[in-house]
């Protein structure tokens, strides 16, 4: 069985909820818990995740995060996908959470029960 990855922030209730669902269905050895604020994914991995989510990098940005505005970013910015990916890598706090990856598919666990779509 391949490992299930969860990119999350343990301080986030949605992340904790998604991890709890995973732990009810998988053993600890089957779950790769990635605290993305401490260990952000590479630009390449984040691009892969966006592909699995069938979305563009901008769509996984937490635009309501104060940092988004502090960086002078807006929803109307005309940036390329590569530029948005770099912004996410440089500022992992902007990455939407939790992201769960399993068998070359991914979901954003909001609400946490979305995890069930991936593991059903």
Please list the active-site residues: 12
The answer to whether 94 touches 76, Cβ cutoff 8 Å, is no
Helices (H), the chain: 13-25, 43-53, 66-70, 81-90, 115-119
DSSP 10-37: TTSHHHHHHHHHHHHHS-GGGEEEEETT
Question: What CA–CA distance (Å, rounded) separates 94 from 75?
Answer: 13
The answer to whether 97 touches 9, Cβ cutoff 8 Å, is yes
């Amino acid at each position: 069985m391949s490992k299930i990855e969860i990119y999350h922030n343990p301080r986030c209730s949605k992340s904790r909820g998604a991890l709890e669902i995973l732990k009810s269905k998988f053993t600890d050895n089957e779950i790769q818990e990635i605290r993305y604020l401490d260990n952000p994914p590479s630009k390449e991995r984040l691009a892969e995740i966006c592909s699995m989510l069938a979305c563009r990098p901008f769509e996984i940005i937490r635009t309501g995060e104060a940092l988004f505005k502090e960086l002078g970013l807006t929803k109307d910015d005309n940036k390329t996908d590569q530029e948005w990916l770099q912004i996410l890598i440089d500022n992992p706090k902007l990455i939407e959470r939790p992201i769960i990856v399993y068998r070359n598919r991914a979901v954003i666990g909001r609400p946490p029960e979305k995890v069930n779509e991936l593991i059903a």
